[in-house]
Amino acid sequence: MASPSLDSPKLCQDIFSILESQFLFGTSPVRKASPRPTSPAGKVCILSIDGGADDLGAASLVRLESSLRRLSGDPSTTISHFFDLAIGSGSGALLASLLFANNLSASDASVLLRQISLEKSKTRTRFGRLFKKENKTLEKVFGEATLKDASKPLLITCYDLNTGAPFVFSRADAVEADGFDFKIRDVCEAALCQRKGSKEVKSMDGETRIRVLDAGANTNPTAVGITHVMHNKQEFPFVNGLEDVFVFSIGGSGTRLSNAASVAGTCQADAVDQAVAMAFGESRKSNYVRIQGNRISAGSTPENILSETCVESVLFQGKRLMKETNEERLEWAAGELLKEQHRRLQSKIPPVFVKSAMTPRTSSSSAMTLTTILTGSSESPRYC
């Protein structure tokens, strides 16, 4: 009798689940569990942006926001209205902060991202280092705002040289104690350090000092965001499994890798993508969306990448091309996010309980609007 084919991802997953259950729980017969229903509170929506997804991330979110506005009929809606948590590393951390700390539209955030990146590149020149030129746009954008001033849960990943371990800046922790609260502009500037230096970031009470080195180009923080939601029962009490989350993850453009650091970062991003896809199993088709370049036409613009055929991770089989383009996946994701919003309007149970800042600082909410920043107006800033 011919042996069954192992090409089926479903068969591979069943075998893997049986072996895992036998290893973890002994040799008792394994019963195949029936699919667990989604929480009555609905799905928690997570936005994750890789460290190397600056241009593609901005373009993807602009397109996603455009679809959300068109489908909802609300021309003023923004990305932050549809996601419960944002997490980013590197330039992705800056983009997430612009969206969740300032509640900017994706197009406005895209403009500021380019401006801040341009200023940051100038500071790396000999002239910029000589006069220690600071990134003025970051200061204008975020003012004295701290992590706990973010409108929704916000996570920023980095590497702490003082402890030699990863560190996650978290709004949830910032609300609990000043020792975990940091100025957003300092965190974002530190997150943009790319292997050529580091930056020390001090907490609001001065007791905690983090020597930040960016986690690396192209790093994927998706797993950190999922873990935070799964274990933060105070803010996400109804999340009991991956069936209760919807993850929208944006990766890199797939350009040719030029150095060891970019290779390592891309390998990490792919490994996390593979692990997350394996964790979701069959529900990855409905609960996990990953936008990234397929590396076939390296060097393409972000707009061209969105029109490319997208790729997905397959259990034990690496990646494969899908039938849809990245743009079509964005449109589908917009529809799913809108469905979740409609479901929440009809539900009596909120899926998220965002911690309130217990001791808000009157001087911290000084983040300015895009108009004030770009015009350099001396008038009183308009608060977001």
Q: What is the pLDDT, as a whole number, of residue 128?
A: 47
Instruction: Give the number of C-alpha atoms closer than 13 A to the C-alpha of residue 351, restricted to the C-beta side.
Output: 27
Say whether pLDDT at 27 is over 70.
no
d(CA 79, CA 94): 15
Q: Of 3-12, 65-74, 138-147, which gets the smallest average pLDDT?
A: 3-12
- For residue 211, the cross-strand partners are 200
Q: 220-277 pLDDT, tens per residue?
A: 999 999 999 999 999 999 999 899 999 999 987 666 556 666 667 677 888 888 889 8
Residue 144 token pair: 């004295």
3-class secondary-structure state, position 246: strand
Q: What angle do CA 247, 281, 10 make, to 5 degrees?
A: 150
In the annotation, is 89 catalytic?
yes
Q: Which residue among the candidates 60, 89, 105, 249 is catalytic per the annotation?
A: 89
Q: 98-131 pLDDT, tens per residue?
A: 999 988 999 999 999 988 888 776 655 544 444 4
Say whether pLDDT at 383 is over 50.
no
3-class secondary-structure state, position 324: strand
Q: What is the pLDDT, as a whole number, of residue 43?
A: 93
Q: What is the pLDDT, as a whole number, of residue 293?
A: 80
3-class secondary-structure state, position 92: helix
Q: What angle do CA 310, 246, 326 make, to 5 degrees?
A: 15
- What CA–CA distances, in Å, run from 339 to 31, 124, 232, 260, 382? 33, 45, 24, 42, 33
Q: What is the pLDDT, as a whole number, of residue 338?
A: 96
Question: Nearest Cα to 101, choosing from 279, 367, 364?
Answer: 367
Output the CA torsion sign for 172, 178, 180, 185.
Answer: positive
How far does the chain reach from its first CA to its final CA, in angstroms?
68
User: Largest alpha-carbon pair distance within the chain?
Assistant: 82
d(CA 152, CA 232): 14
Say whether pLDDT at 28 is over 50.
no
Q: Angle, nearest 10°, between helix axes 91-100 and 184-191?
A: 150
Q: How many helices (H) and strands (E) does the chain have?
A: 14, 10
Residue with tokens 């393409």: 300
Q: 290-309 pLDDT, tens per residue?
A: 998 876 665 578 888 888 88
Rounded average pLDDT over 132-157: 86
